[in-house]
Structure 1
Amino acid sequence: MIRPTPATGGRYAPPAAVRELTARSADGTALHVEVHGPEGAPAVVLAHGWTCSTAFWAAQIRELAADHRVIAYDQRGHGRTPASPASPACTTDALADDLEAVLTATLAPGERAVIAGHSMGGMTVMAASQRPAFREHAAAVLLCSTGSGQLVAESTVLPLRPGRARTWLTGRILGSRAPLGPVTPAARRILKYATMGPASAPDMVEACARIVHACPRTVRHAWSHVLASLDLEADVRGLRVPVEVVVGTADRLTPPVHARALAAALPDCRGVTELPGVGHMTPVEAPDLVTGRIRDLVAAHVSPRQPAVPAAPAEESA
């Protein structure tokens, strides 16, 4: 099947990277990494969510790269990162391994960065919270539209009463092996209903649909099982850096109940922002706010004087 490409024009078209490299995870997975912006500038690391890719952060990369060094990478099986060559298993430990590899490959020893994670990317940050590389490099965190557990049970994608029936049906839908097919008007309407707020502009919906429909169905299915059984509550309590949380009030995949639970469990939560009418795709639906939160965290917690030499050699992509 020919998969759709990201948007080619406008705010949501992915900008060209200053350089691309490959970071090797613990099991040998070759992670596609992009670096945008000037060397030596304050660093920001972006981790995208389930069925997405680096293209999801296009609006943030474009704005932040003017005066930040922005590091974005494709999660395993997504975008230009293949699935694990050693094992088909998908786990939160693997996500944490991958984030550690990216931090080590792109940041100098002792260099600190703001790390932003959306949805599964936020779960990646939680899973890595007690890893040595994360503790060395994380200055502050932004969690967008994410949760630490009970994702399927709390989802409101289906307009049914909470309970076993809704949870079972939601799990079947999210874990479906069915191909998404081409981006058609019907596909846009379905994706908008499930993942975005009712006022989302057509260019937002188009950008998200192109990204989500490009994710291989085997990858989508495999990671759905990890999300269904997610339990990162202990890792949330281990996230001991300043954290801000952003969620849309119309988020059907990770409703605001998750953001409030995170705020209650985090050792150093600096606030929860609930965006009226916004759905699950907060970096696309509210790009200026998300970018602004990242900028504020950098200004408050990252020194403007950063080492210019990467911490470890990495494989440059062709």
Structure 2
Amino acid sequence: MAARRARVVAPRRTPILDSGAPAEVVEVRGADGTLLHTEIHGRQDAPTIVLAHGVLCNLTFWRKQIAELSTEFRVVAFDHRGHGLSEQPRRGSYTLDHLADDLHAVLTTTVPAGERAVLAGHSLGGIAVMAWGARYPQDVARRVRAVALVNTTPGEIFDNLHFLRGPERLLGLRRRLAIAVAPLAGIPLPRRLPIRRRLLSYVALGSKSWASVGLELDRMIAATSPRGRGGYGGMLVRMVTAIDPGSLDVPTLVIAGRKDKIAPPARSRVIAESLPRLIELREYDSGHCGPLECAEEVSADLRALARGELGLAADEATA
């Protein structure tokens, strides 16, 4: 499962930072050879923060945190397989193990030897972090010093959505129907579809979110490969059991959105109760996209984690 070493190439994406500073673009290969587009921003001699985005997005989802944190830290962000500029492997290559192996490859390739990074995952990225901890428990404390789990869930996703609800007696039928239609997520989508943007805003965003955030998310979804949409759509619908986050034996901050319909706050509470070194469960006035909707708060949380200002209570509790 060892990841191959990085190959640095010329930047291929418009710089995210307002300063226009070019990112170092690193091609990381997962355990099965899938190429993962990865960018490194900020000071090369600074502590590392690794960011994992959510489903149907790409690394630019973290653009506000990258711009804010790269002035002080070395920020690594990557596109999940089937997303952004990463490769789009064939059907059957989108599982929890693939998520965990890809994140492991990014960590082992981009984090300097002997350094422990701060690791943050949003939505699917948070699932990837928990899956990585469960699959590589011996590497958690060795490679990571703190974790942030943002707007995410341990699993049982379809059963806990706060939209498309119906009578509990029909839950099994709804689940079977969702699994049956999941392959339709892999069909090509038009670049612009107003009804999709309105539905997305209702499902993924809080009522106070700017219209520009919905437009930004819509563009990411339209740009996500059909293979990525179909592969992860099927995987998430089938997550009828939960991942145990107990292997994340490092100080961990959990962030929830009070108006999150996809990963409701109750799911963050389930995660928090299972963490051996919980720092705190923080709830913000957002929907499912805290890093965009509450950018200043999330950036401040990650900065505090990277500075070592959080996590003391969790350490004292286990001393």
Query: What SS class does the counterpart of residue 184 from structure 2 fall into?
Result: coil
Q: In the alignment, does 2:98 pair up with 1:94?
A: yes
Aligned residue in 1 for 2:317: none
What secondary structure is seen at the aligned counterpart in 1 of 2:46? coil
Q: Give the letter aligned to residue 192 of structure 2.
A: V
| Native 8 Å contact 1:14 1:55 kept in 2 | no
Report the secondary structure of 1:267's partner residue: coil
Give the unaligned 5+ runs of structure 1.
1-7, 303-318
* Contact 1:263–1:272 (8 Å) recurs in 2: yes
Where does structure 2 lack aligned partners over 5 or more consecutive residues? 1-13, 311-319
- State the Cα distance separating 1:174 from its structure 2 match: 6.3
- Mapped to 1, the partners of 2:17 and 2:203 lie a distance apart of 20
Greater relative contact order: 1 or 2 (C-alpha under 8 angstroms, separation 6 or more)?
1
TM-score by length of structure 1 reads 0.84
Check 1:94–1:117 CA distance in 2 against 1; reply closer, same or farther (3 A cut): same
In structure 2, distance between residues paired with 1:102 and 1:67: 21
Instruction: Please say which of residues 226-235 and 168-177 is displaced more in the overlay.
Output: 168-177
Contact 2:58 2:79 survives alignment (8 Å): yes
- Separation in structure 2 between the aligned mates of residue 212 and residue 24 of structure 1, nearest angstrom: 24
Quote the offset at 1:112 in angstroms. Answer: 0.9
Whether the 8 Å contact between 1:52 and 1:212 is mirrored in structure 2 is: yes
Note if contact 1:53-1:78 (Cα within 8 Å) is conserved in structure 2.
yes
Give the deviation of 1:214 after TM superposition.
Answer: 0.9
Say whether 1:272 aligns with 2:277: no
Q: 3-state DSSP class of the match of 2:63?
A: helix
After superposition, give the CA deviation of every residue in 1:73-95 in whole Å (9 maximum; x if it has no partner): 0101110111236x742111111
Secondary structure of the structure 1 residue equivalent to 2:87? coil
In 1: Cα distance, 2:304 partner to 2:227 partner: 38
**Which has a greater percent of helix?**
2
Q: Which residue of 1 aligns with 2:271?
A: 262
Aligned to 2:62: 57
Separation in 2, partners of 1:279, 1:98: 27
Please point out which of 254, 279, 293 is paired with 1:285.
293
Q: Tell me, in whole angstroms, the C-alpha distance in 1 between the residues paired with 2:208 and 2:74.
A: 32
TM-score, with length taken from structure 2: 0.84
Give the alignment's Cα RMSD to 1 decimal: 2.6
Answer yes or no: is the 8 Å Cα contact 1:127–1:232 preserved in 2: no
Contact kept in structure 2, 1:15 and 1:58, CA below 8 Å:
no
Equivalent residue pairs, number: 293
The structural deviation recorded for 1:104 is 1.1
CA distance, structure 1, for counterparts of residue 108 and residue 25 of structure 2? 15
AA in 2 matched with 1:20: V
Would you say the 8 A contact 1:155–1:170 is kept in 2?
no
| Corresponding residue to 2:255 among 246, 258, 265 | 246
Distance 2:106 2:280 in 1: 27
Paired residue secondary structure (1:205): helix
How has the CA–CA distance of structure 1 residues 282 and 102 changed in structure 2, closer, same or farther, with 3 Å as cutoff?
same
Change (3 A) 1:301 1:127: farther
SS at match of 1:150: coil
SS at the partner of 1:28?
Answer: coil
CA contact (8 A) 2:28 2:106 kept: yes
Give the match's secondary structure for 1:78: coil
CA distance 1:29–1:152, shift in 2 (3 Å): same
Q: Which residue of structure 2 lines up, in the alignment, with residue 191 of structure 1?
A: 200
* 1:153 maps to 2:159: yes
Q: Does residue 184 of structure 2 align to residue 176 of structure 1?
A: yes
Tell me, in whole angstroms, the C-alpha distance in 1 between the residues paired with 2:140 and 2:22. Answer: 24
Task: Give, as a single letter, the amino acid of the residue that structure 1 aligns with 2:59.
Answer: T
